Amino acid sequence: MVDIVDAPQVTDIFLTKLYNRIKPSLAFKARDKDEFEEWKRNLKSKIRELLGEFPKPAPLNPQLLSAEETDRFIREKWLIQSEEDCYVPLYLLIPKDAKGKKPAILCAHGHGPYGKDPVAGVHFNDPERKAEIARRNYNYGEQMAKAGFVTVAPDWRSFGERIAYQNPYPERDICNVHFIQHLILGRTLLGSNIFDGMRVIDFLLTRKEVDPERIGCMGLSFGGTMTTYLALLDDRIKAADIICYATTTKHYAISRPNFCGSQIVPFLYKYADVPDVIAAIAPKPLLIESGASDTCFWIHSAMKAHETISRAYKVSGHPENLWIEIFPGVHGFSGRLAFQFFKKFLGS
């Protein structure tokens, strides 16, 4: 008797074979710097097209909601307007020794119910929130502020305060619901979040503490997705740390369903794999952190991605701008190289 999972009518079998037939037309193949620059321009243009049209920016209208002083930094909570009828809550962490203009880092949160809060070190003494921070070393926004950087941690659409900390569709991943709803309305969820990220940088540049020439970005997991696309598409970002996101389409989307609607660029694999997208960030300074025991983005797929990205940085003429850290840990922020990396490329 034939096992149903091996039967030819099973959709998963079709999808695996379809994946095997597709040869992404903009996969990285450049052999010299000129070919690299042409390839990068073409891939950036295609990704920008696939993400859909960005909305018209609204005036930021920043509103200060609260301020808290710690021994090392001031944590301010702000609400800014991104587009018409759309608002982004964020934490801004300002080192108390901020004299003159400082480098700043956009710290993107990953997939989880608390959004920006753990990244900014906010836990309200809730044991579950504190455990989440400890498990992932998740308060990198707070850690970077203590190291002397101005940091900003926004809530992305589908997370944190932007869903009032609750899922109105408890039987479904709200990212998937919002992804479909954005598509129905002619938008993409990831494109809309990238737009919000660019507006957060607009807000950063209004701050007297921030040096506009020294902006960085970092993020774990879905935060790594956001960091990838923001670093690729926004030239104001001068250095980036992608944490536990380097992977391949086959691993995260075909072999196992390790994805959600918040991370999807429609039709991407027709043109490029995830390592190609990350590779196009070259020659911008980039740190990639991959956990040897990460069960979300497995190390074998990360190392395959590292190969493509390393070749791109070499061809771009700046292999020294790529730092790769494989750390002995799980799906979280290592912190072993990040401080040194940002101090080198953004200054302290």
What is the domain partition of the chain in residue ranges?
Answer: 26-346
pLDDT one-digit tens code per residue, 293-315? 999 999 999 999 999 999 999 99
Tell me what pLDDT residue 258 has.
Answer: 82
Bridge partner residues of 68 (DSSP)? 75
Instruction: Kindly report the average pLDDT of the chain as a whole number.
Output: 96
User: What CA–CA distance (Å, rounded) separates 205 from 343?
Assistant: 19
Q: What is the mean pLDDT of residues 166-188?
A: 94
Q: What is the mean pLDDT of residues 6-25?
A: 91
Least confident of 152-156, 161-165, 169-173: 169-173
User: What CA–CA distance (Å, rounded) separates 328 from 208?
Assistant: 39
Q: What are the angstrom distances between the C-alpha of 256 and each of 7, 161, 250, 253?
A: 19, 30, 8, 6
User: What CA–CA distance (Å, rounded) separates 106 from 104?
Assistant: 7
Tell me what pLDDT residue 7 has.
Answer: 76
Tell me what pLDDT residue 19 has.
Answer: 96
Predicted TM-score (pTM) of this structure: 0.96
Structure tokens of 84?
């018409």
Q: What is the mean pLDDT of residues 19-23?
A: 97
Residue with tokens 């901020």: 98
110: left (phi over 0), alpha (psi -120 to 50) or beta: beta
Beta-carbon contacts of residue 261 (< 8 Å; ≥ 6 apart):
158, 173, 175, 176, 177, 178, 179, 180, 189
Sheet holding 86-95, edge to edge: 63-69, 73-83, 86-95, 150-154, 102-108, 210-220, 237-243, 286-291, 322-327
222: left (phi over 0), alpha (psi -120 to 50) or beta: alpha
pLDDT one-digit tens code per residue, 233-257? 999 999 999 999 999 999 999 988 8
Tell me what pLDDT residue 292 has.
Answer: 97
Structure tokens of 119?
């990244």
User: What residue type is assigned to position 92 of the chain?
Assistant: L
Q: What is the mean pLDDT of residues 316-344?
A: 98
Tell me what pLDDT residue 6 has.
Answer: 64
pLDDT band at 5 (very low <50, low <70, confident <90, very high): low
Whether pLDDT at 130 is above 70? yes
The alpha-carbon radius of gyration of the chain (Å, integer) is: 20
Q: Give, to the nearest 10 degrees, the angle between helix 33-50 and helix 222-233.
A: 120
pLDDT one-digit tens code per residue, 76-126? 999 999 999 999 999 999 999 868 999 999 999 999 989 999 999 999 999
User: What CA–CA distance (Å, rounded) separates 246 from 220?
Assistant: 10
Total count of residues recorded for the chain: 348
Tell me what pLDDT residue 257 has.
Answer: 81
Per DSSP, 65 falls in state E
User: What CA–CA distance (Å, rounded) separates 272 from 268?
Assistant: 6
Whether pLDDT at 171 is above 60? yes
Q: Are 288 and 242 in contact (CB under 8 A)?
A: yes
Give the dihedral sign, CA 291/293/296/297. positive
User: What residue type is assigned to position 241 of the chain?
Assistant: D
Whether pLDDT at 1 is above 50? no
> Closest Cα partner for 246 from 196, 286, 192?
286
Tell me what pLDDT residue 2 has.
Answer: 45
Whether pLDDT at 150 is above 70? yes
Name the architecture of domain 26-346. Answer: 3-Layer(aba) Sandwich (3.40)
Element housing 183 (H / E): helix 174-184
Q: Are 314 and 282 in contact (CB under 8 A)?
A: no
